[in-house]
Structures are given as structure tokens and as C-alpha cells.
Amino acid sequence: MLLSFQSILPLFLMIALGYLAKRTVFDVKMLPGLNQFVYYLAVPALLFNAASKAPIDNLINAPALAAFFIGVILTAMVVLVVSRTLFNARHAEQRVLRALNGTFSNYAYMGIPLTFAIFGEEAYVATVSIILVGNVFLIGGAQIFIEAIRQKEIGLKPILSILDRSLLRNPIFLSTMLGLFVSANQIPMPDAIDTLLIMLSPAAVPVALFCLGASLQFAKTSIDLAELGWMVFVKLCLHPALTLSAFLLLDINDPIWMATTVLLTALPTGALAHVVALKYDVFEKETSQIVVVSTVVSLLSVTLWMSGLQ
């Protein structure tokens, strides 16, 4: 456990440095620019490099992805039942956002830095796959559910609009798909472009974690403390536990895929869940608090998961 803690601690210290800098010397007006650099340049460069060098045949690991989806579905079902029975969440839209909070992880700003730093190149393929399916099916799926609830039904046009906003304008998705295209067709990269990507990629991990820390805001919200604790427990403990159980029940003997997938599901709630909450004005302040508290608590929980997985 000590070894796991020592390997993860520098990453969380970078998050703490971002928060401390915001409180002291860092001008918060610079944060949007840094976030844009990470989101549109550094992380896409890192993912493009990872995808372009990964054999495309290895990207689709059907048993591992099945275990991931089983973990998501079981976790969402538990959240829906408990939210309705214990926390009186009567509105269907609020239950959808609660399910999203319990299943969607901070893949880009924490998942990529953690898996790439801890597991190295062996985790590239699994990380890329989980990020793709997580963004497509969880973020896109949550929006489709809410649209269907509001419109009583949903047609092709709203679905295409959601996919357009979630995927076709998403630099993380586009850079990954472009990298896979390059890999599949074995397209050689010009030396200048390759050098540029090599320069950009290392910035993704420290700058993403710094921005994550600088964006943390601790404020009281209307969410009940019992429910806040429950949602944090679901995201950091129940979700990865159910995912690990799915791997074991399906008898998937791929340690890298299992460790990477479980670690990604053990991460705190991702900021994109808050973006969805803001867009539909549902469970917005509560989602913000879940993101912050789960991020702080994840220092301990991720260390424990890493210790168990190793």
C-alpha cells in the first residue's frame, strides 16, 4: 500500500498545488486559457500519440468492455433504486443525473495522467477504449435519456444533435479517432509533426492536474450530507467493486485491462457530468459538490484500489 501511495501522491500533490496557487499567486482569469490548452491541445496530442501507436485490433476487447458495461449498468440501477426510495428523488431527470454522477469518471484530467503514469504504455489501449465508450455512452446516453423524458419521445434529429455536440466537436474523441485511423492505415507522420506531438504530450499530465486543482471550489449546497456521502461512496467504492466483480465473474484473465478499467471506474466523478447538469439545469449544484468531494476523497480510495490491484 505504501508503494501505491508513493506512486499516486505526486499526482495529487499537483492537484493540491493548483488549488494552492489559485488561493495565492495564480490569477484565476488565466484558468480558462490553461483549460483550453489542455482540452484542445495537450490531451488530444497525448491521445493521438497513444492511439496512433496502438494496434487497432487490440482496441476492442469485447469481454473487458462487457465487464465495464456490466459495472456501469449495475451501479446505475443501484443509484436509481436508492435515490427513489431513500432520498426521495421523484423526478426522472434528477435520477438520470444521479446515475451519471455514480458512473462517469474523470477520464481526461485524472484517468489519462494516472493510468499512463502508473501502468505506462501497456495501459494505452485500454485507457483509450474506456475513454471512448465512457464519453459516447455515458455522457451521450444521459443527454438522450433527459431529452426523451422532456419530449416524451425522441427522434433521430435530437440524437444526431447530441452526438454532434458530444463527439464530432469533442477534441478528445476526434484526436483518438484520427490516431486510430493513422494506426489502421500505417500512415507515417512527418518528422516536424511527430516532434510537435512529442513536445505537447508531456504537458498534458501536469497541466491537467494543475487545472483540476485550480478549478476546485468548496461551497455549501442543498444536497443532503447523507446523500453526498452515499454518492461519493458509490463512485469511489461501489462502481469499481462491481466492475471488478464483473471481470472476475466473466473470468477475464487480462491483468492490464482489468487494472486499468477498475482504476478508471474508481476515479472521482468527471467534470463533464457537471456540464450536462448545467446544460439541463438539473441537479447542478449537487453535481458540483459531488465532483469536488469525490476528488478530494479519491486520494485515499484510489491508493487503496491501486494497492489491491497490484
Find all residues with CB under 8 Å of 287, minimum gap 6, and list them: 97, 101, 269, 273, 274, 277
- In the structure grid, which three cell numbers stand for residue 204, read together? 498534458
Q: What is the pLDDT of residue 173?
A: 77
Q: Where are the domains of the chain?
A: 2-309
Find all residues with CB under 8 Å of 6, minimum gap 6, and list them: none
Q: What is the pLDDT of residue 153?
A: 59
User: Could you tell me which of 176, 142, 177, 172 has the C-alpha nearest to residue 159?
Assistant: 142
Per-residue pLDDT tens digits for 200-253: 988 887 887 788 788 777 766 667 889 999 999 999 999 999 999 999 999 998
Per-residue pLDDT tens digits for 248-259: 999 998 999 999
Q: What is the pLDDT of residue 214?
A: 83
Nearest 5°: phi and psi at 153?
-160, 170
- In the structure grid, which three cell numbers stand for residue 172, read together? 478528445
Q: What is the pLDDT of residue 275?
A: 77
Q: What is the pLDDT of residue 112?
A: 79
Q: Which CATH architecture has domain 2-309?
A: Up-down Bundle (1.20)
Sign (positive/negative) of CA torsion 11, 12, 18, 24? negative
Q: What residue type is assigned to position 248 of the chain?
A: L
Decide: 17 and 213 in contact? Cβ < 8 Å. Answer: yes
Residue ranges of the chain with per-residue pLDDT less than 70: 1-5, 7, 56-57, 152-156, 158-159, 162-168, 219-222, 310
- Direct distance between the N- and C-terminal alpha carbons of the chain, in angstroms, rounded to an integer: 9
Task: Please state, in angstroms and rounded to a whole number, the distance separating the CA atoms of residues 240 and 234.
Answer: 9
Find all residues with CB under 8 Å of 117, minimum gap 6, and list them: 7, 11, 205
Over the Cα atoms of the chain, what is R_g? 19
Nearest 5°: phi and psi at 105?
-100, 165
> Can you name the residues that pair with 269 across neighbouring β-strands?
105
> Can you name the residues that pair with 89 across neighbouring β-strands?
none
Q: For the chain, how long is the longest CA-to-CA vector?
A: 59
Q: What is the pLDDT of residue 266?
A: 95
Q: What is the pTM of this model?
A: 0.81
In the block, residue with C-alpha cell 492537484: 15
